[in-house]
Amino acid sequence: MNAFFRSARGLAAAMLVLSGLLACASHERASLVQVRNGEGDRIVILSRAVPAALSGDDGRSLPENSRWRRIGAVPQGDVYRRLDDRFVVRAQGREREAYLVESNGKLMGFYLPGESWFVPLSTPVRMPSWQR
């Protein structure tokens, strides 16, 4: 009987460590490669609102008619900064400025410039056609 409880405790400890590691995986370090002026930087306008909620930050969306400028890229995609207002998300319990990360027509997540983090969406979201 004691062997059963010892193995159950070991399994519970392993699950606790694994869940802690998964919680840490909610963001990753990302190096932004900036575009030089005139080299691929462009301004786009969203034709509709795009749901963009992170885990623990429900109800957030990219506003319809918001203006974004491509400022660079991270390994996960192109990075766009909002021009007409500041866009923030709640990550790690704090409000943080966020730039959208788009790849192949999908919103992949956000680049947090203050922390140099990429925070992925649990499921990428199809973006509307860009208006230039």
pLDDT tens figures, 44-87: 999 999 988 777 767 789 999 999 999 999 999 999 999 999 99
pTM: 0.76
d(CA 52, CA 103): 15
d(CA 21, CA 6): 23
Q: Read off the pLDDT of residues 14-35 as tens digits, 9 standing for 90 and up.
A: 343 333 333 333 778 888 999 8
| CA proximity to 79, closest of 115, 109, 114 | 109
- Strand partners of residue 43: 69
Comparison of pLDDT for 92 and 122, the residue scoring more? 122
d(CA 132, CA 126): 18
SS3 of 32, please?
Answer: coil
- Strand partners of residue 94: 91
Domain ranges of the chain: 29-131
| pLDDT over 80 at 116, yes or no | yes
| CA proximity to 40, closest of 11, 79, 76 | 79
Across the chain, how many H-helices and E-strands are there?
1, 13
Percentage of the chain lying above the pLDDT 90 cut: 47
